Structure 1
């Protein structure tokens, strides 16, 4: 069987479901390695490796999405909004984007990672430091003129109505 023959036989609906499955599998792998390091060496060591992984992965993900979507070098607010909607997270988490002038507020309204950790009786993932690396790096690849600021993210929660919130500002 050639590489994509099985995929080519699927309907659009089946492909969309498969993308959701792949997204959940990607997140499961991310959580499995993280929890392995966390259990053996502690949260600080797991966070160190998580930060290193996301520093590299977010750039790869953003570059590939930017190319796939045909975004220009300076994609601006609309380009970032579009790219965010095609991330793995967009298939498995609930989020909203609010644009106002030269800013985009990205709010994760439901997070599978935090929900799973809560369900398992684990402490919440202190994702703010890694989120700062992830979201700022992603936005800069989409358009180098972006800065990113954490509005609310565990352990620094300032908005209980969402899992996290990030403010992207486009500097022209």
Structure 2
């Protein structure tokens, strides 16, 4: 059995702040390993390994969130909306979720990754390719009927109002 005595000493507000710290730490770790590979072997090699890491991690993350939320097998777009709201970076990035009919649109309005790279005078992360893997795999675990398409993501930005935008379609057939 795990010992949570150290966490029991903190208030709900303190624990929420701690979750934010953990989220930032996770994102920092994701960034530093990527930058290490990028600096040593180049962007193409870093992107390959990033894609492979996300292909595995996003499935693990989605399964754990789905279990935590006690979502049924195919919870539809409402289930996906709840799950997206609990992803590790959901509480440190500014995002927007809209559902219209059989489509959910997810936009990252403010992205800590791109902001950090800009601050360090680094080129933007070309995240579209990895994002397709990440969001498609996440959605499939939440509901196997949901497919994902990129609307706008660096390096192919078509919507200047956000950092990236993804469309999830519920195929009920």
Q: Shorter-normalised TM-score: what interval? A: over 0.9
Question: Which residue does 1:47 correspond to in 2?
Answer: 47
Shift of 1:3: 2.3
Question: Which residue does 2:88 correspond to in 1?
Answer: 88
Aligned length: 171
Shift of 1:9: 1.2
- In 2, the alpha carbon distance for the partners of 1:154 and 1:3 equals 43
- In 1, the alpha carbon distance for the partners of 2:18 and 2:3 equals 16
| SS of alignment partner, residue 88 of structure 1 | coil
Shift of 1:89: 1.2
Shift of 1:84: 0.3
Question: Which residue does 2:156 correspond to in 1?
Answer: 156
What does the per-residue CA deviation read over 1:107-149, in whole Å, with 9 as the maximum and x for residues that have no partner?
0000000000011100000000000000000000000000000
Question: Which residue does 2:14 correspond to in 1?
Answer: 14
- In 1, the alpha carbon distance for the partners of 2:107 and 2:166 equals 6
Mapping 1:43-82, distance limit 5 Å: 43-82=43-82
Shift of 1:53: 0.2
Shift of 1:91: 1.1
Q: TM-score, normalised by structure 1?
A: 0.98
Unpaired runs of 5+ residues, structure 2, are: none
Shift of 1:8: 1.2
| SS of alignment partner, residue 89 of structure 1 | coil
Question: Which residue does 2:121 correspond to in 1?
Answer: 121
Shift of 1:30: 0.1
- In 2, the alpha carbon distance for the partners of 1:4 and 1:122 equals 40
| SS of alignment partner, residue 92 of structure 1 | coil
Unpaired runs of 5+ residues, structure 1, are: none
- In 2, the alpha carbon distance for the partners of 1:105 and 1:33 equals 30
Shift of 1:4: 1.0
Matched, 1:170 2:170: yes
- In 2, the alpha carbon distance for the partners of 1:78 and 1:72 equals 11
| SS of alignment partner, residue 131 of structure 2 | helix
- In 1, the alpha carbon distance for the partners of 2:48 and 2:3 equals 37
